[in-house]
């Protein structure tokens, strides 16, 4: 199963969808080919009465001559400079974006980005702090009543803090929930089954982790 997933991911990387500009250029090329072919055929058919002129020395030679004329017309009508013009336009767009500190690795992405109205991105270190934290947790509390209230009840808590600094509070926590509830058991498990360490960097004036980020987040929760 893991091999199938890897194969699917590799196939997805190789299968690149064409950009809107590439699709339009393909359509334009097909239409242009059909149009030029039709014009060349019409020119050759209109020249049939001239095939038997004495200057050609025969009907077949006249037909071959005007066939060459039609082919030359078709070759001349092909816009050979179109790919160069498109590449130049995309390069100019890349240069303008580079002036705004935007690095473009592929030229077709410039055309796609020009049609973009909203960009949703998550860059670690820019929009996020690269520090995993616990924001909420759910525990199973013992029921205090009889009947439906005798079974375990789920209770949700909100946790303050946005970094590895061990500050903040657990909203909704009381002395009763800490003593006899599942919150104490959860904290004990998070503390004992944990190999991460929190260290304070004097130079940068911030807390850093040694170990897995998930275990570091649980360590902050316990402290």
Catalytic residues: 122
200: left (phi over 0), alpha (psi -120 to 50) or beta: beta
Residues in contact with 128: Cβ distance below 8 Å, sequence separation at least 6, in sequence order = 122
Look up tokens 């590449």; give the residue.
87
Are 186 and 172 spatial neighbours (Cβ–Cβ below 8 Å)? no
Tokens for 161?
Answer: 């803090």
C-alpha Rg value of the chain to the nearest Å: 36
**What angle is formed at CA 173 by the lines to CA 168 and CA 175, rounded to 5 degrees?**
120
**Which ranges in 123-174 belong to alpha helices (H)?**
none
* Token pair recorded at residue 162: 């946005």
Residues linked to residue 154 through DSSP beta bridges, in sequence order: 140
CA distance 150 to 147: 5
For 80-107, b/e burial (b = at least 16 CB within 10 A) is eeeeeebeeebeebbeebeeeeeebeeb
């Amino acid at each position: 199963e893991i091999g199938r997933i890897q194969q699917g991911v590799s196939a997805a990387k190789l299968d690149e969808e064409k950009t809107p500009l590439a699709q339009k250029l393909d359509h334009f090329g097909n239409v242009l080919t059909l149009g030029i072919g039709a014009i060349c055929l019409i020119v050759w058919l209109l020249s049939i009465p001239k095939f038997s002129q004495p200057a050609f020395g025969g009907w077949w030679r006249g037909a071959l001559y005007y066939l060459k004329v039609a082919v030359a017309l078709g070759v001349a009508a092909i816009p050979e400079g179109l790919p160069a013009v498109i590449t130049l336009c995309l390069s100019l767009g890349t240069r303008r974006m580079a002036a705004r500190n935007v690095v473009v690795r592929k030229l077709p992405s410039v055309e796609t980005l020009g049609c973009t109205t909203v960009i949703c991105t998550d860059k670690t270190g820019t929009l996020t702090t690269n520090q995993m934290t616990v924001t909420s947790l759910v525990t199973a509390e013992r029921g205090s009543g009889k009947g439906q209230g005798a079974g375990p009840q789920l209770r949700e808590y909100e946790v303050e803090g946005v970094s590895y600094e061990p500050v903040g509070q657990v909203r909704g926590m009381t002395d009763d929930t800490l003593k006899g509830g599942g919150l104490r058991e959860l904290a004990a498990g998070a503390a004992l089954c944990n190999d991460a360490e929190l260290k304070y960097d004097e130079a940068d004036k911030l807390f850093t982790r040694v170990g897995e980020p998930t275990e570091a987040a649980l360590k902050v929760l316990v402290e």
